[in-house]
Amino acid sequence: MEVVINKKEILDELAAKEIIELVKRKPNANLGLATGSSPVGLYEKLITDHKVNKTNYKFVKTFNLDEYIGIPIDHEQSYHTFMYKVLFKHLNINLKNTNFPKQDDPKSYTVLLKNNPIDLQILGIGSNGHIAFNEPGTSFDSTTQYVDLAESTIKDNSRFFDSIDDVPKKAVTMSLKDIMMAEKIILLAFGKNKAEAINQLVNGEKTEDCPATILQTHPNLTLFIDEDAASLL
Ligand code: GLP
């Protein structure tokens, strides 16, 4: 794995450049995308580039990592809505080419991903080491599935809801195995509350107690992390 430590602004720029170069080289690229606050700066860079340089997303397909269960996909805090607001509506992307794991049919995502291998996967990481919504204890062999969110994830994500009681307790997530199939992975992590999870990922043993440690054996993984997230390395 490659670890790049720099200021967030610079890392957002570098990550955006990777996507832009890929889309220019391969106009029908399959992009794996993440929600959460970590990729928002990168998405802003893509939007600016699209406005200025007209990078074309018409033939790109996107595959998001996860979605809540228990709220409709048009809910203001659903990941469908989040992606539309922070990225999709600003690019010339065909919404028919944007994909999420299905709330009523999780298994179909694994088949879809087999038929559409991801060229570049953008990832965040939970403070407890989760990736997508694969919480600690998830089997490394599981397939796209329903999951119960960890207490710490519900707490972390409550900042987006009026109260912690409004945070869904369940989700549907791309599996660890599916994530590992991506040709290239860029993981973004910023801030002190990610330091422990990043330290586990880089220096810890590979264990289902910290789902992100599965990435240790990915052949093409780059971590883009700031000084705070790197502070325990
Ligand atoms: C959520 C998402 C994850 C994301 C994580 C970190 O739980 N399901 O995919 O990586 O949040 O979020 P943030 O980037 O806001 O710290």
Task: Report the alpha-carbon distance of residue 118 to residue 29 in Å, rounded.
Answer: 8
Please write the tens of the pLDDT for every residue from 38-47. 999 999 999 9
128 is catalytic: yes
- Domains (range + CATH), the chain: 2-225 (3.40.50.1360)
* CA 34–ligand 1 middle distance (angstroms): 8
Task: Report the alpha-carbon distance of residue 141 to residue 150 in Å, rounded.
Answer: 19
Measured in whole angstroms, the distance separating CA 179 from the mean position of its chain's CA atoms is: 9
153 Cβ below 6 A of ligand 1: yes
- Closest ligand 1 atom number to CA of residue 188: 14
Identity at 202, one-letter amino acid code: V
Whether the CB-CB separation of 122 and 39 falls below 8 Å is answered with yes
The catalytic residue among 30, 128, 134, 157 is 128
35 Cβ below 6 A of ligand 1: yes
62 Cβ below 6 A of ligand 1: no
67 Cβ below 6 A of ligand 1: no
DSSP 8-state symbol, 29: -
Residue ID of nearest Cα to ligand 1 atom 12: 36
Q: Which residue has the tokens 């922070």?
A: 86
66 Cβ below 6 A of ligand 1: yes
pLDDT given for residue 122 in this prediction: 98
- Angle, CA 114 vertex, CA 113 and CA 120 arms, to 5°: 55
Q: Which residue has the tokens 């996860």?
A: 66
Whether the CB-CB separation of 175 and 144 falls below 8 Å is answered with yes
Tens of pLDDT along the chain (233 residues) come to 999 999 999 999 999 999 999 999 999 999 999 999 999 999 999 999 999 999 999 999 999 999 999 999 999 999 999 999 999 999 999 999 999 999 999 889 999 999 999 999 999 999 999 999 999 999 999 887 889 999 999 998 999 999 999 999 999 999 999 999 999 999 999 999 999 999 999 999 999 999 999 999 999 999 999 999 999 99
pLDDT given for residue 14 in this prediction: 98
Backbone angles phi, psi at 178, to 5 degrees: -65, -40
pLDDT given for residue 143 in this prediction: 82
Residue ID of nearest Cα to ligand 1 atom 6: 126
Whether the CB-CB separation of 176 and 214 falls below 8 Å is answered with yes
pLDDT given for residue 145 in this prediction: 83
Please list the alpha-helical segments (H only) found in the chain. Answer: 8-25, 40-53, 79-86, 107-115, 151-157, 176-180, 195-203
56 is catalytic: no
Nearest to 134 by CA among 209, 42, 225: 209
Substitution candidate for ligand 1 out of 125, 146, 192 with most atoms within 8 A of CB:
125
66 is catalytic: yes
**DSSP-derived secondary structure for 54-116:** ----TT-EEEESEEEESS-TTSTTSHHHHHHHHTGGGTT--GGGEE--BTTBTHHHHHHHHHS
Identity at 116, one-letter amino acid code: N
Which residues are within 8 A (CB) of 161 and not within 5 positions of it... i.e. 6 or more apart?
77, 167
130 is catalytic: yes
* CA 56–ligand 1 middle distance (angstroms): 27
Substitution candidate for ligand 1 out of 11, 35, 190 with most atoms within 8 A of CB:
35
3-state secondary structure of 147: strand
